[in-house]
DNA sequence: AATGAATGAGGATTCATTCAT
DNA sequence: GATGAATGAATCCTCATTCAT
């Protein structure tokens, strides 16, 4: 009976290493060898488990988005009011699990990847649709018909704040970042910030 | 008699070609040869005039930002009221000169470049500082002390809308994009959108 | 209770798979993994039973030549006259067991392998010697002293017709192929074809 | 004014080196680096001038066949009788320009390449058609209606003798090889060899 | 007996960059 | 001013082979 069940372990290690390397380099110009080395294996094995560099990138993208999705779901489950739901979405977007140096860098680079790679584009589209859907659902009781337009503004602001983080030299401050977006939310719902 | 004074002509052609190629490829994975070919010269000449690929990219970045800056200045000059000034900044951000497929793609990629390249980072920082400064200046008469916070929100929203454009398949619609941001402005200044 | 006596079964499966894969690819650029997969086992097991890729190829070669040899022997046994013996050899060369797409391709590639691999070269030499010997033996009563020269011509023509088949797109036609060679035989023995 | 006109020189050097390397290795398992080194340049330059390894192989193939074609044409031009024409074709097939260790090895390997590569297949087909056409043309006055069948036999024998050479350890002996084929020709035309 | 796991050693191809002319 | 020529250094990917289980 051979040693078995390494696949998920290796794939996971590679995905994490990919995100870390993209964060470290700040770009997708990361070699499979670098990723594999950080993940503690040969580049040949990385290819064995993923088939190609693109697949590695896509898996990393799915991972980042899955984490974000989980955080949003968790926050939503804990919310009790409509406003609480919207705030939860915003706060989850800048929670410590997602709003980290390497994740931000990865996210930014996935936007670039989506320009070229159809699967990447589809993944990002799914993320945007879900975000909008979640926002609209939470906003409807608060702003009625304007929910869609408001969701658009909130969503864009989230993305903007997120992306801008990629330029800052300091460590990400999720609370402060969330406050910027929550400021918009407050306005939209008639509460002067 | 050798042609003289070619330098600015060549450099300009290369800069335009660079932006076009980045737009076409959707990434910085553009070869000097591709750029040079589109600009109608040999890659050796491109190096002769710029020294390195990085310098070509930086020049392209400066070009994109110069165009944007000029549009903002022009719009500001035409504005007569404080609110008009702010609206001018927002509209200029999505004017036909800047809000184009290739420019958006280039802009997005410059964010990535800024992760690695210090000069690129500095250039983007300058852009952000100017944008904030312009916004604050225009917003002060409208929102007083909240000017800085509002500028932060408006700026982030501009960037968010801009970046999101990179994912859409359709041709950029500057007016619609500007409206999203103007919606935030309206709220901030107490005008229900 | 471990299965026992698998060795011959596995080896045979691998040999057949090798010939099939060489036929499918049309070259020796066949991976051990491909061969093993077709044979229904892991590539590790293929190595276990053969030691190296070269040994697999050689075994396949021996197999192809063994089949050919058996067919020649069978045909010779059934022949009653000297002329019949020679015709039997020719016909056996293009019988349905040997004159098949994949066998032809394999044969051609074994010629190539023989350029590099000494054992392969020896195997092919054995085949050629046997063929010549058989032909000479059958031809002696028919053409006397010229037997050796005639055998050389007949042998070369067999090989030529065989190799040429590798280029044709259609399914091998053994009867027609044999007729080409038998035409030479007829001439050599004074029978106008 | 840059150094110019290297293309044909480099391409020619590469083609010769390719044939030599295939001859030396006895197979198509030749690296571009090996070829380039023998041709006195970097492998990058080889790619620059040919685009891909396949193109290098095809060029080598064309070269080998062009040499052969030229020799046939030259020999045909010198022939005065119908029989002389046919003999010229046969002799040219084994002339010192074509019947050399490396050419034979290359030729054999091109047969293999033709299994995979469509252009290679087409090239070989052209060669076979020309050979048959030339033979038929020369044989018509000698054997009338049987010309086609005879050409087929002669052609196959040429190929067979040629390929068999790939197995022999000794230096090619064109005269002896030609004699084998001429033996068939003699029979076909009613002259006892 | 059998195989998943793992890797070292290449190999084709690309590209920024330099240089002689 | 301009360019063809040239290359060193990567980079992705493949594969035969080994090994622990």
Report the pLDDT value the prediction gives residue D170, as an integer from 0 to 100: 87
Q: Across residues C96-108, what is the average pLDDT?
A: 89
Q: Find out whether A106 and A60 touch, Cβ atoms under 8 Å.
A: yes
Q: Looking at the predicted structure, is the pLDDT value of residue C1 above 50?
A: no
Residue of D nearest to C180 (CA): D153
- Which of A115, A149, A167 lies at the smallest CB-CB distance from B114? A167
Q: Looking at the predicted structure, is the pLDDT value of residue B1 above 80?
A: no
Q: Find out whether C166 and D111 touch, Cβ atoms under 8 Å.
A: yes
Intervals of chain A under pLDDT 70: 1-2, 191-193
pLDDT per residue over D25-60, tens digit each? Answer: 999 999 999 999 999 999 999 999 999 999 999 999
The phi, psi pair for C67, rounded to 5°, reads -60, -45
Residue of B nearest to A161 (CA): B156
**C31 CB below 7 A from strand F atoms:** yes
D4: confidence class by pLDDT, cuts 50, 70, 90: confident
- Nearest CA to B101 out of B127, B140, B52, B64 is that of B64
The most confident of A52-56, B187-191, D180-184, by mean pLDDT? A52-56
Q: Find out whether A166 and B111 touch, Cβ atoms under 8 Å.
A: yes
Contact A157 B158 (CB under 8 A): no
As a three-state string, the secondary structure of chain A is CCCCCHHHHHHHHHHHHHHHHHHHHCCCCCCHHHHHHHCCCCHHHHHHHHCCHHHHHHHHHHHHHHHHHHHHHHHHHHCCCHHHHHHHHHHHHCCCCCCCHHHHHHHHHHHHHHHHCHHHHHHHHHHHHHHHHHHHHHHHHHHHHHHHHHHHHHHHHHHHHHHHHCCCCCCCCHHHHHHHHHHHHHHHCCCCC
Those residues with Cβ within 8 angstroms of residue A9's Cβ, 6 or more apart along the chain or in another chain: none
Report the pLDDT value the prediction gives residue C181, as an integer from 0 to 100: 95
Contact C156 D180 (CB under 8 A): yes
Q: Which residues of D touch C113 (CB under 8 A)?
A: 27
Cα distance between residue D18 and residue D27, in whole Å: 11
Report the pLDDT value the prediction gives residue C66, as an integer from 0 to 100: 93
Contact A112 B112 (CB under 8 A): yes
Secondary structure (3-state) at A54? helix
Contact D153 C184 (CB under 8 A): yes
Contact A163 B111 (CB under 8 A): yes
Residues 134-163 of B with CB under 8 A from A: 146, 149, 152-153, 155-163
Inter-chain Cβ pairs, chain C and chain D, closer than 8 A: 117
Q: Which residues of C touch D156 (CB under 8 A)?
A: 157, 160-161, 164, 180-181
Report the pLDDT value the prediction gives residue C192, as an integer from 0 to 100: 56
**How distant is C1' of E7 from CA of A7, in Å?**
16
Q: Find out whether B46 and B14 touch, Cβ atoms under 8 Å.
A: yes
Cα distance between residue A174 and residue D94, in whole Å: 82
Q: State if pTM tops 0.85.
A: yes
Q: Across residues D165-186, what is the average pLDDT?
A: 91
Contact B27 A152 (CB under 8 A): no
Residue of C nearest to D116 (CA): C26
Report the pLDDT value the prediction gives residue C2, as an integer from 0 to 100: 53
Report the pLDDT value the prediction gives residue A190, as an integer from 0 to 100: 79
Structure tokens at C43: 């590539």
B4: number of Cβ within 10 Å: 6
Inter-chain Cβ pairs, chain A and chain B, closer than 8 A: 118
Residues 92-121 of C with CB under 8 A from D: 105, 108-109, 111-116, 121
Q: Looking at the predicted structure, is the pLDDT value of residue D65 above 90?
A: yes
Using a CB–CB cutoff of 8 Å, tell me whether C191 touches chain D: no
Q: Find out whether B50 and B61 touch, Cβ atoms under 8 Å.
A: no
**B38 CB below 7 A from strand F atoms:** no
Contact A112 B109 (CB under 8 A): yes
Structure tokens at A139: 């906003």
Cα distance between residue D37 and residue B79, in whole Å: 69
The most confident of A8-22, B90-104, C1-15, by mean pLDDT? A8-22
Range 114-153, chain D: CB under 7 Å to any strand F atom = none
Q: Which residues of B touch A108 (CB under 8 A)?
A: 111-112, 115
A119: number of Cβ within 10 Å: 15
Report the pLDDT value the prediction gives residue D169, as an integer from 0 to 100: 81
Helix, strand, coil shares of chain B, percent, nearest 5, are 80, 0, 20
Using a CB–CB cutoff of 8 Å, tell me whether A131 touches chain B: no
Contact D157 C155 (CB under 8 A): no
Those residues with Cβ within 8 angstroms of residue D8's Cβ, 6 or more apart along the chain or in another chain: none
Q: Which residues of A touch B180 (CB under 8 A)?
A: 149, 152-153, 156
Please give the angle made by the CA atoms of D175, D181 and D182, to the nearest 5 degrees.
Answer: 75
Those residues with Cβ within 8 angstroms of residue D141's Cβ, 6 or more apart along the chain or in another chain: D82
- Nearest CA to D33 out of D19, D22, D44, D25 is that of D44
Protein contacts on strand F: list nucleotides below 7 Å from a Cβ. 1-21
**A30 CB below 7 A from strand F atoms:** yes
Structure tokens at B103: 């420019």
B169: confidence class by pLDDT, cuts 50, 70, 90: confident
Cα distance between residue A46 and residue C125, in whole Å: 45
D122: number of Cβ within 10 Å: 12
Chain B: closest CA distance from residue A30 (Å) = 12
Contact A153 B114 (CB under 8 A): no
Residue of C nearest to D161 (CA): C156
**C27 CB below 7 A from strand F atoms:** no
Q: Half-sphere exposure of residue D130, counting CA atoms within 13 Å on the CB side?
A: 16
Using a pLDDT cut of 90, give the percent of chain C over it. Answer: 81
Cα distance between residue A170 and residue A163, in whole Å: 14
Contact D157 C156 (CB under 8 A): yes
Residue of A nearest to B112 (CA): A27
Range 21-80, chain D: CB under 7 Å to any strand F atom = 41-45, 48
| Residue indicated by tokens 């030729």 | D107
Lowest mean pLDDT among A179-193, B28-42, B106-120, D122-136: A179-193
Q: Half-sphere exposure of residue A36, counting CA atoms within 13 Å on the CB side?
A: 15
D29: number of Cβ within 10 Å: 14
Cα distance between residue D179 and residue D193, in whole Å: 10
Residue nearest to nucleotide F5 (CA to C1'): D3
| C abuts D (3+ Cβ pairs < 8 Å) | yes
Gyration radius of chain A over CA positions? 18
Cα distance between residue C61 and residue A65, in whole Å: 54
**Burial tier of C86 (Cβ tally within 10 Å: 0-12, 13-18, 19+):** buried
Cα distance between residue A166 and residue A112, in whole Å: 14
Q: Looking at the predicted structure, is the pLDDT value of residue B168 above 60?
A: yes
pLDDT per residue over D81-103, tens digit each? Answer: 999 999 999 999 999 888 988 88
C124: number of Cβ within 10 Å: 20
C170: confidence class by pLDDT, cuts 50, 70, 90: confident
The phi, psi pair for A148, rounded to 5°, reads -65, -50
Cα distance between residue C84 and residue D37, in whole Å: 55
pLDDT per residue over D110-123, tens digit each? Answer: 999 999 999 999 99
Report the pLDDT value the prediction gives residue B2, as an integer from 0 to 100: 53
Range 37-96, chain C: CB under 7 Å to any strand F atom = 43-44, 47, 52-54
């Amino acid at each position: 009976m051979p040693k078995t069940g390494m696949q998920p372990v290796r794939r996971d290690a590679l995905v994490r290493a990919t995100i870390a390397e993209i964060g470290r380099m700040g770009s997708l110009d990361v070699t499979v060898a670098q990723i594999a080395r950080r993940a503690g294996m040969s580049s040949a094995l990385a290819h064995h488990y993923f088939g190609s560099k693109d697949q590695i990138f896509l898996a990393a993208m799915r991972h980042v988005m899955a984490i974000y999705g989980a955080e949003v779901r968790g926050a939503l489950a804990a919310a009790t009011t409509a406003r609480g739901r919207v705030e939860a979405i915003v706060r989850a977007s800048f929670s410590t699990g997602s709003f980290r140096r390497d994740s931000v860098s990865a996210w930014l680079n996935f936007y670039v990847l989506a320009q070229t790679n159809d699967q990447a584009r589809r993944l990002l589209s799914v993320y945007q649709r879900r975000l909008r859907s979640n926002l609209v659902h939470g906003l409807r009781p608060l702003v009625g018909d304007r929910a869609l337009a408001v969701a658009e503004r909130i969503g864009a602001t989230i993305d903007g704040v997120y992306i801008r983080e990629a330029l800052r030299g300091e460590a990400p401050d999720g609370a402060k970042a969330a406050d910027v977006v929550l400021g918009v939310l407050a306005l939209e719902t008639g509460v002067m910030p």
